[in-house]
A and B are shown apart, each in its own frame.
Chain A
Amino acid sequence: MFPILEARFIAPGIRRFIIQAPRIARKQQPGQFVILRLYEHGERIPLTIESSDPAKETISIVVLSVGKTTRLLNSLQAGDAILDVVGPLGKPSEIRNFGTVVVIGGGVGAAMAFPTAAALKRAGNTVISIIGARSGELVILERELSAVSDALTVTTDDGSYGERGLVTDKLRQLINQGAHIDLVLAVGPIPMMKAVADLTRAPRIPTIVSLNPIMIDGTGMCGGCRVLVDGKSKFACVDGPEFDAHQVDFDVLLQRNSMYRGPERESLAEFECHPQAQIESMRAASAKVCVLTGGRR
């Protein structure tokens, strides 16, 4: 069991957790993720580690409610525990002094890009951050990111905060102004990452994206997370999740991520019928495991 020490919403539907996970906290590097399972009947889902504190033996994650599992997770509070958390998984981001790096985070991608942005800054890069959200209330980690950025722009689709438009509008503007960019790192929804890749392809700006295919084990055992990169199959959980954006086949990724749309809707609809009952039964199930094992498994 992995106890939750802190949990709070940082935006509507986006919750940040601090979880006790000593082994993971000691080893985490930027760009890596965990896979968690909430209770015995739960599925395994991947979530990026936003930060870790080896001294306190904790990691943090930032979770956007999309379907049943993330909603269940976002109903948990400090004092609850998560049945399984395994990691850190995936290759760490490549951190060195590239020069000027543009870090783009779309939606919850801002939290996923944050640890890498911070490490790039520490490595001596000039970091220009662009974070985007649908509207102002959904903008997350602005303060944290601006602390590790030389410049930070917020864009919102509806213009309710920051600049109106998309993150790619801002990137296009930078490119058109002739800004010198050595590397772009883009993390967010697949269409956003694809649009970034299309923008930087012609000017040949090296671009890294962090892919989010459906995963199960996260250790290279199932091959379910395979993505097409440069025409070759790669397992995102061990060969990635970061890849050269210009080599990624985003259409295949989009298609593969839609594979379980039907059952996912069904699962969510059922959850929404009796959310409270399902939340209670999940908590009861994990409390039972806690009692049976004295907190250890």
Chain B
Amino acid sequence: MSQPPAGSANPLPLRDRMKIPRQAMPEQPAQDRVFNFFEVNRGYSEELAQQEARRCLECAKPTCMDNCPVGVNVREFVQSIVAGDFRGAAAVIRQDNVLPAITGRVCPQEDHCEAACKLHKKGESLGIGYLERFVADYEQRMGIRHVPTAPPTGRKVAIVGSGPAGLSAAGDLVQKGHLVCVFEALHELGGVLVYGIPEFRLPKQIIREQLDYMRAMGVEFETDVVVGRTVTIDELIEEEGYDAVFVATGAGSPLFLGIPGEHLNGVYSANEFLTRINLMHAWQFPAYDQPMMDLHAKDVAVIGGGNTALDAIRSVLRLGARKAYVLYRRSEAEMPARAEEVKHARQEGIEFHMLTGPVEFLPDEKGWLGAVRCVRMALGEPDASGRRRPQPVAGSEFDVPLSVAVIAVGTSANPVIQSTTPGLDTDRRGYIVADPATQRTSRRGVFAGGDIVTGSATVILAMGAGRRAARSIHEYLSTGSW
């Protein structure tokens, strides 16, 4: 049992592999990074990557792969790293995952691949995300990536939305020889990856490189097109000759709390706040023209406990805030944010206030936001999501003085496509109904996937939906049967 598996490039007996500690990700020290937007994680060196890869037990039945939503062949790519064949490792990942530089950075690995890693039961799981990122970055650094081509089929596919779901479908479909055009409402491509997730977690350059690669493969992009308004799905099919449409518009409509004072100056949705920073570069005002509120020496809170909340509050800190709070109505165990984000946020000095629910935003003497009134919560019985339901504790109100509050309590479906596409079924919350296996909707030739079907989820789940859609669109175009 302790012998290396036959043919392994790794000579270490399994027992010794388990003695290697998980290799730490080199990162910018917290005291430096709170003053800049550069990426926090620096990435493994070749030596660190190989040392980490040597920890892999090369299981005969690798459960990590089963737990990856797109089934990346983890064992094989890790073996290639051990063998020093980094480019080969990249090729293995690319079979299942077209955006490894992105997923390596933002996947909640602790819920997916790394959760199922056998090492996890014995100690710390293999750093699969870190290795994936290393391989993708290596490939990018070395340049010359193989650009696959396929004989043209003459069929046209329109993709609506350029987030991870749309991009992964586009990449797969163009490789089948179909003409693919991605329509995007905003002036930049990438969806949440560009307007939501900040530079210090996912540098925009990585998305740009990915897009360049997709252009090289032949994917076309048209920005500034709000499908439903600028052109409808029916017009794409009937007038512009698209044979199939994939709707991947995300869950982009911000939810508010519905409490008094939400209209006060200083109260933002996380979408607006992050869009100003990431898409519009408002933090570089006046070099960029879009303004934002000056946060210098201000007290700021974010309301919510997901990745969005932490992205917002960590940005706040980098813009010079004096105090940065997370106000969350459940306890830390229920926080949906990635474990690494919570760790980084704590290192940076963000204050977490759990079991705290806002009930009202209060104005200052100018009529702008001055404070938020909160109530303490206690956890009761589990709710529909399986998490214990927070309940307000009577008489526990207290005020937190604030200049800016960012609301990050989730998003819902934007109705523009659904309301302009007759016959497209939605569920009662307004999400598009699609078959989970084929991503087919109630309209012939129209497919949907990603957050617009599932509600706000993750990058890798959206990509998985994009893949499935590409597969069934290809099948539909080949057979013509629905």
Give chain A's interface residues, CB within 8 Å of chain B.
23-24, 27, 37, 41-44, 68-69, 83-89, 216-217, 219-224, 226-228, 233, 238, 249, 252, 255-256, 258-260, 262-264, 266-267, 270, 297
Contacting residues of chain B (340-396) with chain A, CB-CB under 8 angstroms: 367
Q: Is the Cβ of B262 less than 8 Å from the Cβ of A263?
A: no
Decide yes or no whether B263 CB sits under 8 A from chain A.
yes
Contact A43-B290, Cβ < 8 Å, known A219-B416, A238-B416 = yes
Q: Is the Cβ of B185 less than 8 Å from the Cβ of A267?
A: no
Q: Is the Cβ of B263 less than 8 Å from the Cβ of A220?
A: no
Q: Is the Cβ of B291 less than 8 Å from the Cβ of A86?
A: no
Decide yes or no whether B231 CB sits under 8 A from chain A.
yes
Considering only CB atoms, which chain A residue lies closest to B222 in the complex? A297
Contact A27-B230, Cβ < 8 Å, known A220-B252, A267-B286, A270-B286 = yes
Q: Of B5-13, B275-283, B435-443, which binds chain A? A: B275-283
Contact of A41 among B269, B287, B293, B414 (CB under 8 A): B287
Of listed A37, A219, A259, residue having the most chain B CB within 10 A: A219
Contact A221-B187, Cβ < 8 Å, known A24-B230, A43-B280, A259-B265 = no
CB distance from A296 to the nearest CB of B (A): 9
Point out the residues of chain B lying under 8 angstroms from A87, CB to CB.
Answer: 226, 229-230
CA distance A256 to B263 in the complex (A): 8
Point out the residues of chain A lying under 8 angstroms from B88, CB to CB.
Answer: none
CA distance A239 to B281 in the complex (A): 27
CB distance from B396 to the nearest CB of A (A): 27
Q: Is the Cβ of B186 less than 8 Å from the Cβ of A217?
A: yes
- 30 A-B Cβ contacts within 8 A? A23-B230, A27-B231, A37-B187, A41-B288, A83-B187, A86-B185, A86-B224, A86-B225, A89-B226, A216-B290, A219-B229, A220-B414, A221-B195, A221-B254, A222-B254, A222-B275, A223-B256, A224-B272, A233-B262, A255-B367, A256-B263, A256-B265, A260-B291, A260-B292, A263-B294, A264-B291, A266-B286, A267-B285, A297-B221, A297-B222
Q: Is the Cβ of B263 less than 8 Å from the Cβ of A228?
A: yes
Q: Is the Cβ of B187 less than 8 Å from the Cβ of A86?
A: yes
Contact of A84 among B223, B254, B289 (CB under 8 A): B223
Considering only CB atoms, which chain A residue lies closest to B268 in the complex? A224
CB distance from B161 to the nearest CB of A (A): 11
Decide yes or no whether B253 CB sits under 8 A from chain A.
yes
Q: Is the Cβ of B230 less than 8 Å from the Cβ of A233?
A: no
CA distance A24 to B187 in the complex (A): 15
Of listed A23, A68, A88, A228, residue having the most chain B CB within 10 A: A23
Considering only CB atoms, which chain B residue lies closest to A259 in the complex? B265
Point out the residues of chain A lying under 8 angstroms from B280, CB to CB.
Answer: 43-44, 216
CA distance A260 to B272 in the complex (A): 14
Decide yes or no whether B210 CB sits under 8 A from chain A.
no
CA distance A43 to B286 in the complex (A): 11
Decide yes or no whether B271 CB sits under 8 A from chain A.
yes
Q: Is the Cβ of A69 less than 8 Å from the Cβ of B289?
A: yes
CB distance from A265 to the nearest CB of B (A): 10
CA distance A86 to B184 in the complex (A): 10
Q: Is the Cβ of A222 less than 8 Å from the Cβ of B269?
A: yes
Point out the residues of chain A lying under 8 angstroms from B229, CB to CB.
Answer: 27, 87-89, 219
CB distance from A72 to the nearest CB of B (A): 8
Contacting residues of chain B (226-275) with chain A, CB-CB under 8 angstroms: 226, 229-231, 252-254, 256, 258, 262-263, 265, 268-269, 271-272, 275
CB distance from A292 to the nearest CB of B (A): 12
Contact A259-B253, Cβ < 8 Å, known A43-B280, A223-B269 = no
Q: Is the Cβ of A44 less than 8 Å from the Cβ of B290?
A: yes
CA distance A83 to B188 in the complex (A): 12
CA distance A175 to B169 in the complex (A): 60
Point out the residues of chain B lying under 8 angstroms from A238, CB to CB.
Answer: 416
Point out the residues of chain A lying under 8 angstroms from B221, CB to CB.
Answer: 297
Q: Is the Cβ of A252 less than 8 Å from the Cβ of B230?
A: no
CA distance A258 to B262 in the complex (A): 16
Of listed A86, A228, A260, A262, residue having the most chain B CB within 10 A: A86
Considering only CB atoms, which chain B residue lies closest to A40 in the complex? B288
Of listed B221, B275, B287, residue having the most chain A CB within 10 A: B275
Point out the residues of chain A lying under 8 angstroms from B223, CB to CB.
Answer: 84, 297
Q: Is the Cβ of B289 less than 8 Å from the Cβ of A43?
A: yes
By Cβ-Cβ distance, the 10 closest A-B pairs, closest first, are A263-B291, A222-B272, A43-B290, A223-B269, A86-B224, A43-B289, A224-B272, A260-B291, A84-B187, A221-B252
Considering only CB atoms, which chain A residue lies closest to B185 in the complex? A219
Point out the residues of chain B lying under 8 angstroms from A43, CB to CB.
Answer: 280, 288-291
Q: Is the Cβ of A221 less than 8 Å from the Cβ of B271?
A: yes
CB distance from B448 to the nearest CB of A (A): 18
Point out the residues of chain B lying under 8 angstroms from A42, CB to CB.
Answer: 288-289
Q: Is the Cβ of A41 less than 8 Å from the Cβ of B416?
A: no
CA distance A23 to B230 in the complex (A): 6
Q: Is the Cβ of A23 less than 8 Å from the Cβ of B225?
A: yes
CB distance from A237 to the nearest CB of B (A): 10
Contact A255-B254, Cβ < 8 Å, known A23-B225, A37-B187 = no
CA distance A24 to B230 in the complex (A): 6
Q: Is the Cβ of A85 less than 8 Å from the Cβ of B224?
A: yes
Point out the residues of chain B lying under 8 angstroms from A216, CB to CB.
Answer: 272, 275-276, 280, 290
CA distance A233 to B231 in the complex (A): 28
Contact A233-B263, Cβ < 8 Å, known A24-B230, A86-B185, A216-B275 = yes
Contact A220-B224, Cβ < 8 Å, known A69-B289, A263-B286, A267-B291 = no
Point out the residues of chain B lying under 8 angstroms from A228, CB to CB.
Answer: 263
Q: Is the Cβ of B285 less than 8 Å from the Cβ of A263?
A: yes
CB distance from B232 to the nearest CB of A (A): 9
Point out the residues of chain A lying under 8 angstroms from B230, CB to CB.
Answer: 23-24, 27, 86-88
CA distance A266 to B265 in the complex (A): 19
Point out the residues of chain B lying under 8 angstroms from A266, CB to CB.
Answer: 286
Contact of B263 among A41, A252, A262 (CB under 8 A): A252
CA distance A294 to B195 in the complex (A): 26
Q: Is the Cβ of B224 less than 8 Å from the Cβ of A224?
A: no
CA distance A270 to B286 in the complex (A): 9
Point out the residues of chain B lying under 8 angstroms from A297, CB to CB.
Answer: 221-223
CB distance from B187 to the nearest CB of A (A): 4
CA distance A260 to B368 in the complex (A): 12
Point out the residues of chain A lying under 8 angstroms from B281, CB to CB.
Answer: 41
Point out the residues of chain A lying under 8 angstroms from B292, CB to CB.
Answer: 260, 263
CA distance A261 to B272 in the complex (A): 18
